[in-house]
Amino acid sequence: MAKRDYYETLGVPKNASDEEIKKAYRKLAMKHHPDRNQGDAAKAAEEKFKDAKEAYEMLSDPQKKAAYDQYGHAGVDPNRGMGGGAEGFGGFAEAFGDIFGDVFGGGRGRGQGGRQVYRGGDLSYAMEITLEEAAVGKNAEIRIPTWDNCSTCGGSGAKPGTNVVTCTTCHGHGQVQMRQGFFSVQQTCPQCKGTGKLIPEPCSACMGVGKTKTNKTLEVKIPAGIDDGMRIRSTGNGEPGTNGGPAGDLYIEIRLKKHAIFERDG
């Protein structure tokens, strides 16, 4: 059953002052107090007394009042929406979950233990081919700069002989809970930057990053009929992800060399 509006329960307008809310509650509390109502009217009076008390508790608290004014009952009653219904707090969480995720999560996933999982960055490579090669296609080898796990520390980022330790701020989760007014939201741990780990002694070869710059050789198949400016996507050959996140992609942009005699038309 839908709850009655708290302002209606107390009989005050939505712009009522704190003093007006308090006076309205006291008047209703005295009228419906169980000690002042006996017999058949006792049960109804008790319900009205409870409703008035609940309304006053919400509207007399500045944070709860602000949440109620903005979101209604869904913003102040965490028990609503826990069942199979679509209304209440469950609907509120679904409606605003993506917003909180964008603000505090940045579109990232969650790794083991709740750590932030980052997708690797995409890479671009410009490849020049002849008009003849574009017409018939070809297989070509390209050498691209990329990042790979540090060979000195094995990708841990820690100096050889030392260990990576669990972050004491987030206890390895990579997330910390912060209060934003009446609500609690999760943010990336400021201490470990979402990794869930700390490196007391960083590797000198990679400066604690766990990755070093390197070159990678790839074989690329250029399809027949490709045109100038077209891009070929090589999935997973971009920069490696972090905390088990997927690698980015490599985009190869085709550029046609100018022919001494012929010119491509269409």
What pTM, to 2 d.p., does this model score? 0.46
Q: What is the pLDDT of residues 20-29, one digit of tens each?
A: 998 998 899 8
Q: What is the pLDDT of residues 72-83, one digit of tens each?
A: 766 565 444 333
Strands (DSSP E) found in 47-174: 109-110, 116-117, 123-129, 138-149, 165-166
Residue 128 in this model has a pLDDT that exceeds 70: yes
pLDDT of res. 94: 33
Residue 234: closest CA among 140, 151, 150? 140
Phi, psi of 219 (to 5 degrees): -100, 130
Residue 167: is it exposed, middle or buried by C-beta count within 10 angstroms (0-12/13-18/19+)?
buried
Q: What is the pLDDT of residues 222-243, one digit of tens each?
A: 999 898 889 999 998 888 777 6
Task: Summarize the confidence of residues 136-153 as an average pLDDT.
Answer: 88
Domains of the chain: 6-105 (1.10.287.110), 116-157+201-266 (2.60.260.20)
Task: Summarize the confidence of residues 89-103 as an average pLDDT.
Answer: 35
Of 47-51, 174-178, 213-217, 228-232, the range with the lowest mean pLDDT is: 174-178
Residue 130 in this model has a pLDDT that exceeds 80: yes
